[in-house]
Chain A
Amino acid sequence: QSALTQPRSVSGSPGQSVTISCTGSRGDIGGYNYVSWYQQHPGKAPKLMIFDVSERPSGVPDRFSGSKSGNTASLTISGLQADDEADYYCCSYAGSYIMLFGGGTKLTVL
């Protein structure tokens, strides 16, 4: 199983919106509604931001939203804030008890 494909980096100015894509296949993203997204600040453990494609855990601002179309999932962050600068990872169930992560995307807030 190959890792899911994410852009290496994205950037945006404070207040703007950015979208991070995560591309897989019919065997993972396209076949299951079990996509999750994690935020990781340098030196810290990852934090769950989105689960089951578009659900937000309690405490995660509604500026963070998730979606899926076909074999591609997306994380959109609106109203960018300085603290949103971090690495973001997508993850999907891929059948046969396998979970796949994306390679990660570095978000820079300009």
Chain B
Amino acid sequence: QVRLVESGGGLVKPGGSLRLSCAASGFTFSDYYMTWIRQAPGKGLEWISYISSTVTTIYYADSVRGRFTISRDNAENSLYLQMNSLRAEDTAVYYCARGAQLRYVDSWGQGTLVTVSS
């Protein structure tokens, strides 16, 4: 059974940093693309970053490029998102999700809330 568990969310001041983690289990983590998708309060879904299974391909949405860094540790079955220079508009629930290349995502974590506020 696929399980994705995010952690690391919380309250941070504008300009601050936060590192999100996602622990994966129930599947061969190293075989899959992984993505981060976020949802601002009361808003829709926004895909923000993905990383290929072997880290050869990484991509970011324009809204986070240059501030966020995605990474993974296949030995630890973990996905990460380092978020720097945080802004109020980054306030959202951040979901870790398993991807079928760039066709779709088939499993989601429960999400972790990041609040950027002074």
Contacts and interface: CB of A to CB of B under 8 A. Distances in A.
Contact of A3 (B44, B50, B59): B44
Contact of A93 (B35, B44, B103): B103
Which bucket holds chain A's interface residue count? 20 to 34
Contact of A89 (B45, B61, B100, B110): B45
B106 A34 contact: no
Contact residues on B (Cβ < 8 Å of other chain), bracket: 20 to 34
Contacts of A91: 45, 47, 104
B75 interface: no
Contacts of B105: 36, 48
Contacts of B1: none
Contacts of A101: 44-47
Contact of A36 (B104, B107, B109): B104
The 3 closest A-B pairs by CB, nearest first: A36-B104, A45-B108, A97-B59
7 contacts: A38-B45, A48-B104, A89-B44, A98-B59, A100-B47, A103-B44, A104-B45
